[in-house]
Amino acid sequence: MHMLILGLGYTAAHIADAFRARGGTVTAVRSRAAAGVLSLNDPAIPALLAKTSHILSSVPPSDTGNDPVIDRLGPQIAAAPARWVGYLSSTGVYGDAAGAWVDEASPLKGRRSGRLAADLAWQALHPQARIFRLPGIYGPGRSTLDRLRTAPVARIDLPGHIFSRIHVADIKGAIDASLDHGDPGVYNLTDDEPAPGEAVTAYAARLLNLPIPPLQTLAQAALSPMGRAFYGECRRVANGKMSRDLRYELRYPDYRQGLTACLKELTP
Protein backbone atom coordinates (compact mmCIF):
# COMPACT_ATOMS: atom_id res chain seq x y z
CA MET A 1 0.00 0.00 0.00
CA HIS A 2 1.19 3.48 -0.82
CA MET A 3 -0.47 6.79 0.07
CA LEU A 4 0.24 10.07 -1.69
CA ILE A 5 -0.63 12.88 0.72
CA LEU A 6 -1.12 16.27 -0.87
CA GLY A 7 -0.71 18.80 1.94
CA LEU A 8 1.08 17.30 4.94
CA GLY A 9 -0.20 19.51 7.74
CA TYR A 10 -1.15 18.84 11.36
CA THR A 11 -4.08 16.52 10.64
CA ALA A 12 -2.65 14.78 7.57
CA ALA A 13 0.52 13.95 9.49
CA HIS A 14 -1.56 11.97 12.00
CA ILE A 15 -3.31 10.15 9.14
CA ALA A 16 0.10 9.33 7.66
CA ASP A 17 1.17 7.79 10.97
CA ALA A 18 -1.88 5.51 10.97
CA PHE A 19 -1.22 4.43 7.40
CA ARG A 20 2.40 3.60 8.17
CA ALA A 21 1.24 1.60 11.19
CA ARG A 22 -0.67 -0.59 8.72
CA GLY A 23 2.58 -1.30 6.90
CA GLY A 24 1.97 1.22 4.12
CA THR A 25 4.39 3.78 2.73
CA VAL A 26 3.71 7.49 2.36
CA THR A 27 4.88 10.16 -0.06
CA ALA A 28 4.24 13.67 1.22
CA VAL A 29 3.65 16.77 -0.89
CA ARG A 30 3.62 20.38 0.23
CA SER A 31 3.54 23.70 -1.57
CA ARG A 32 7.34 23.83 -1.27
CA ALA A 33 9.82 21.00 -1.38
CA ALA A 34 11.76 20.05 1.75
CA ALA A 35 13.76 17.10 3.02
CA GLY A 36 11.71 14.02 2.20
CA VAL A 37 8.80 16.12 0.90
CA LEU A 38 7.92 16.90 -2.72
CA SER A 39 6.50 20.17 -3.99
CA LEU A 40 3.12 20.24 -5.68
CA ASN A 41 4.86 21.12 -8.95
CA ASP A 42 7.28 18.18 -8.86
CA PRO A 43 7.25 16.41 -12.26
CA ALA A 44 7.35 13.02 -10.51
CA ILE A 45 3.84 13.37 -9.08
CA PRO A 46 1.84 12.32 -12.19
CA ALA A 47 3.81 9.06 -12.33
CA LEU A 48 3.14 8.49 -8.62
CA LEU A 49 -0.58 9.04 -9.15
CA ALA A 50 -0.57 6.38 -11.85
CA LYS A 51 0.56 3.69 -9.40
CA THR A 52 -0.43 4.76 -5.88
CA SER A 53 -3.15 2.86 -4.02
CA HIS A 54 -4.39 5.73 -1.81
CA ILE A 55 -4.59 9.49 -2.38
CA LEU A 56 -5.37 12.09 0.30
CA SER A 57 -5.65 15.86 -0.12
CA SER A 58 -5.80 18.22 2.83
CA VAL A 59 -5.09 21.33 0.75
CA PRO A 60 -7.78 23.99 1.21
CA PRO A 61 -9.00 26.14 -1.65
CA SER A 62 -7.16 29.38 -2.30
CA ASP A 63 -8.51 32.81 -1.40
CA THR A 64 -9.87 33.05 -4.94
CA GLY A 65 -11.81 29.81 -4.50
CA ASN A 66 -9.66 27.57 -6.70
CA ASP A 67 -8.47 24.19 -5.45
CA PRO A 68 -4.70 24.14 -6.09
CA VAL A 69 -4.57 20.34 -6.28
CA ILE A 70 -7.40 20.01 -8.78
CA ASP A 71 -6.03 22.93 -10.80
CA ARG A 72 -2.64 21.25 -11.02
CA LEU A 73 -3.45 17.52 -11.01
CA GLY A 74 -7.20 17.11 -11.53
CA PRO A 75 -7.09 15.02 -14.76
CA GLN A 76 -4.35 12.76 -13.40
CA ILE A 77 -6.22 12.15 -10.15
CA ALA A 78 -9.46 11.49 -12.04
CA ALA A 79 -7.67 8.81 -14.10
CA ALA A 80 -5.68 7.33 -11.21
CA PRO A 81 -6.24 3.62 -10.40
CA ALA A 82 -6.29 4.33 -6.64
CA ARG A 83 -8.77 2.26 -4.65
CA TRP A 84 -9.25 5.04 -2.07
CA VAL A 85 -9.25 8.81 -2.52
CA GLY A 86 -9.82 11.15 0.44
CA TYR A 87 -10.38 14.88 0.76
CA LEU A 88 -10.48 16.84 4.01
CA SER A 89 -13.34 19.31 3.74
CA SER A 90 -15.18 21.41 6.33
CA THR A 91 -18.56 21.29 8.06
CA GLY A 92 -18.67 24.99 7.21
CA VAL A 93 -20.27 23.96 3.91
CA TYR A 94 -23.57 23.59 5.81
CA GLY A 95 -23.67 27.26 6.76
CA ASP A 96 -25.92 28.52 9.53
CA ALA A 97 -28.59 26.10 10.76
CA ALA A 98 -29.75 28.23 13.71
CA GLY A 99 -28.55 25.53 16.09
CA ALA A 100 -30.33 22.65 14.36
CA TRP A 101 -28.71 19.32 13.53
CA VAL A 102 -27.20 18.84 10.08
CA ASP A 103 -26.10 15.60 8.43
CA GLU A 104 -24.60 14.58 5.10
CA ALA A 105 -27.95 15.04 3.33
CA SER A 106 -28.49 18.61 4.59
CA PRO A 107 -28.50 21.53 2.13
CA LEU A 108 -25.15 23.18 1.48
CA LYS A 109 -25.02 26.94 1.90
CA GLY A 110 -21.68 27.82 3.45
CA ARG A 111 -20.51 31.43 3.45
CA ARG A 112 -17.15 30.33 1.98
CA SER A 113 -18.08 29.59 -1.62
CA GLY A 114 -14.57 28.36 -2.44
CA ARG A 115 -14.73 25.66 0.22
CA LEU A 116 -18.14 24.55 -1.00
CA ALA A 117 -17.00 24.45 -4.63
CA ALA A 118 -13.94 22.37 -3.69
CA ASP A 119 -16.07 19.93 -1.69
CA LEU A 120 -18.36 19.36 -4.67
CA ALA A 121 -15.46 19.16 -7.13
CA TRP A 122 -13.75 16.40 -5.14
CA GLN A 123 -17.00 14.45 -4.90
CA ALA A 124 -17.18 14.41 -8.70
CA LEU A 125 -13.46 13.90 -9.35
CA HIS A 126 -12.98 10.18 -8.72
CA PRO A 127 -15.34 7.19 -8.25
CA GLN A 128 -13.54 6.24 -5.01
CA ALA A 129 -13.68 9.73 -3.50
CA ARG A 130 -14.48 10.06 0.21
CA ILE A 131 -15.16 13.58 1.47
CA PHE A 132 -14.50 14.02 5.18
CA ARG A 133 -16.20 17.14 6.53
CA LEU A 134 -14.41 18.33 9.65
CA PRO A 135 -15.49 20.83 12.33
CA GLY A 136 -13.10 22.56 14.74
CA ILE A 137 -9.98 20.39 15.13
CA TYR A 138 -7.99 20.19 18.35
CA GLY A 139 -5.34 17.91 19.79
CA PRO A 140 -1.89 17.87 21.39
CA GLY A 141 -0.16 21.18 20.80
CA ARG A 142 -3.28 22.70 19.26
CA SER A 143 -6.03 23.05 21.83
CA THR A 144 -7.59 25.64 24.10
CA LEU A 145 -5.13 24.49 26.75
CA ASP A 146 -2.21 25.66 24.62
CA ARG A 147 -3.88 28.98 23.84
CA LEU A 148 -4.68 29.68 27.49
CA ARG A 149 -1.07 29.11 28.48
CA THR A 150 0.23 31.67 26.00
CA ALA A 151 -2.40 34.41 25.67
CA PRO A 152 -5.83 35.53 26.88
CA VAL A 153 -8.74 33.62 25.34
CA ALA A 154 -12.06 35.39 24.88
CA ARG A 155 -15.21 33.70 26.19
CA ILE A 156 -18.05 35.03 24.11
CA ASP A 157 -21.40 35.49 25.83
CA LEU A 158 -23.72 34.39 23.05
CA PRO A 159 -26.51 32.23 24.51
CA GLY A 160 -27.52 29.37 22.25
CA HIS A 161 -24.40 29.47 20.10
CA ILE A 162 -23.18 25.89 19.61
CA PHE A 163 -20.54 24.32 17.43
CA SER A 164 -19.00 20.91 16.89
CA ARG A 165 -15.40 19.80 17.20
CA ILE A 166 -13.22 16.68 16.98
CA HIS A 167 -9.94 15.50 18.48
CA VAL A 168 -7.29 14.85 15.84
CA ALA A 169 -6.90 11.27 17.11
CA ASP A 170 -10.50 10.60 16.12
CA ILE A 171 -9.97 12.03 12.64
CA LYS A 172 -7.01 9.70 12.35
CA GLY A 173 -9.03 6.75 13.64
CA ALA A 174 -12.12 7.37 11.51
CA ILE A 175 -10.15 7.82 8.30
CA ASP A 176 -8.12 4.73 9.09
CA ALA A 177 -11.42 2.84 9.54
CA SER A 178 -12.60 4.13 6.14
CA LEU A 179 -9.82 2.15 4.49
CA ASP A 180 -11.73 -1.00 5.46
CA HIS A 181 -15.35 0.10 5.79
CA GLY A 182 -17.81 2.42 4.10
CA ASP A 183 -18.55 3.26 0.50
CA PRO A 184 -17.27 6.33 -1.34
CA GLY A 185 -19.24 9.43 -0.39
CA VAL A 186 -19.46 12.14 2.24
CA TYR A 187 -18.80 11.65 5.95
CA ASN A 188 -19.08 14.07 8.85
CA LEU A 189 -16.29 13.40 11.34
CA THR A 190 -17.21 15.00 14.65
CA ASP A 191 -17.62 14.16 18.31
CA ASP A 192 -20.93 13.45 20.03
CA GLU A 193 -21.41 16.71 21.92
CA PRO A 194 -21.69 20.07 20.17
CA ALA A 195 -21.04 22.70 22.83
CA PRO A 196 -20.61 26.45 23.36
CA GLY A 197 -17.07 27.68 22.90
CA GLU A 198 -17.19 29.50 26.23
CA ALA A 199 -17.90 26.20 28.04
CA VAL A 200 -14.86 24.59 26.42
CA THR A 201 -12.64 27.51 27.45
CA ALA A 202 -13.94 27.40 31.02
CA TYR A 203 -13.27 23.67 31.27
CA ALA A 204 -9.75 24.08 29.90
CA ALA A 205 -9.02 26.82 32.44
CA ARG A 206 -10.14 24.54 35.26
CA LEU A 207 -7.85 21.77 34.02
CA LEU A 208 -4.93 24.21 34.12
CA ASN A 209 -5.95 25.69 37.48
CA LEU A 210 -6.16 29.09 35.83
CA PRO A 211 -8.81 31.77 36.39
CA ILE A 212 -11.77 31.30 34.07
CA PRO A 213 -11.76 34.20 31.58
CA PRO A 214 -14.78 36.49 32.00
CA LEU A 215 -17.62 36.38 29.53
CA GLN A 216 -17.56 39.13 26.91
CA THR A 217 -19.93 40.36 24.27
CA LEU A 218 -18.88 40.17 20.65
CA ALA A 219 -18.26 43.92 20.68
CA GLN A 220 -16.09 43.73 23.80
CA ALA A 221 -14.01 40.89 22.39
CA ALA A 222 -12.98 42.98 19.36
CA LEU A 223 -12.65 39.92 17.14
CA SER A 224 -11.33 39.91 13.61
CA PRO A 225 -13.87 39.88 10.78
CA MET A 226 -13.23 36.15 10.36
CA GLY A 227 -13.80 35.56 14.06
CA ARG A 228 -17.06 37.52 14.03
CA ALA A 229 -18.23 35.59 10.97
CA PHE A 230 -17.65 32.34 12.86
CA TYR A 231 -20.16 33.44 15.49
CA GLY A 232 -22.67 34.20 12.74
CA GLU A 233 -23.17 30.46 12.16
CA CYS A 234 -24.60 27.92 14.57
CA ARG A 235 -25.18 24.22 13.93
CA ARG A 236 -24.95 20.80 15.47
CA VAL A 237 -23.20 18.27 13.21
CA ALA A 238 -24.45 14.67 13.30
CA ASN A 239 -21.95 11.81 13.06
CA GLY A 240 -24.27 8.81 12.69
CA LYS A 241 -22.96 7.87 9.26
CA MET A 242 -19.41 7.81 10.59
CA SER A 243 -20.38 5.44 13.39
CA ARG A 244 -22.65 3.27 11.27
CA ASP A 245 -20.84 2.98 7.94
CA LEU A 246 -17.21 3.34 9.01
CA ARG A 247 -17.87 1.32 12.17
CA TYR A 248 -15.80 3.78 14.13
CA GLU A 249 -16.16 4.34 17.88
CA LEU A 250 -14.87 7.68 19.12
CA ARG A 251 -11.95 7.71 21.54
CA TYR A 252 -12.99 11.16 22.77
CA PRO A 253 -16.76 11.56 22.40
CA ASP A 254 -16.79 14.99 24.06
CA TYR A 255 -14.47 17.92 24.66
CA ARG A 256 -13.98 17.07 28.33
CA GLN A 257 -12.44 13.70 27.55
CA GLY A 258 -10.46 15.15 24.67
CA LEU A 259 -9.00 18.04 26.64
CA THR A 260 -8.17 15.80 29.58
CA ALA A 261 -6.15 13.65 27.19
CA CYS A 262 -4.43 16.75 25.77
CA LEU A 263 -3.51 17.83 29.30
CA LYS A 264 -1.46 14.67 29.75
CA GLU A 265 0.60 15.55 26.67
CA LEU A 266 1.32 19.18 27.54
CA THR A 267 4.99 20.03 27.71
CA PRO A 268 6.08 21.69 30.98
Q: What is the pLDDT of residue 193?
A: 97
Burial code (b: 16+ CB inside 10 Å, e: under 16) for 250-262 equals bebebbbbbbebb
Q: What is the pLDDT of residue 223?
A: 79
- Residue 141, beta-bridge partner list: none
Q: What is the pLDDT of residue 110?
A: 74
Q: What is the pLDDT of residue 171?
A: 98
Confidence band for 259, pLDDT divided at 50, 70 and 90: very high
Residues 117-136, mean pLDDT to the nearest whole number: 96
For residue 41, count other CB atoms closer than 10 A to its CB.
12
Burial code (b: 16+ CB inside 10 Å, e: under 16) for 172-204 equals bbbbbbbbeebebebbbbbbebbbbbbebbebb
Q: What is the pLDDT of residue 228?
A: 80
Residues 120-126, mean pLDDT to the nearest whole number: 96
User: How confident is the model over 7-60, as pLDDT tens digits?
Assistant: 999 999 999 999 999 999 999 888 776 767 888 888 899 999 999 999 999 999
User: How confident is the model over 168-219, as pLDDT tens digits?
Assistant: 999 999 999 999 999 999 999 999 999 999 999 999 999 999 999 999 988 8
Strands (E), the chain: 2-6, 25-30, 37-39, 54-57, 84-90, 101-102, 129-134, 136-138, 155-156, 165-167, 185-188, 215-216, 236-237
Q: What is the pLDDT of residue 152?
A: 85
Residues 234-259, mean pLDDT to the nearest whole number: 98
Q: Alpha carbon 66 to chain centroid distance?
A: 19
- Residue 117, beta-bridge partner list: none
Q: Kindly list the structural domains of the chain, giving each domain's residue range(s) and its CATH number in brackets, ordered by start.
A: 2-264 (3.40.50.720)
Q: Alpha carbon 260 to chain centroid distance?
A: 20
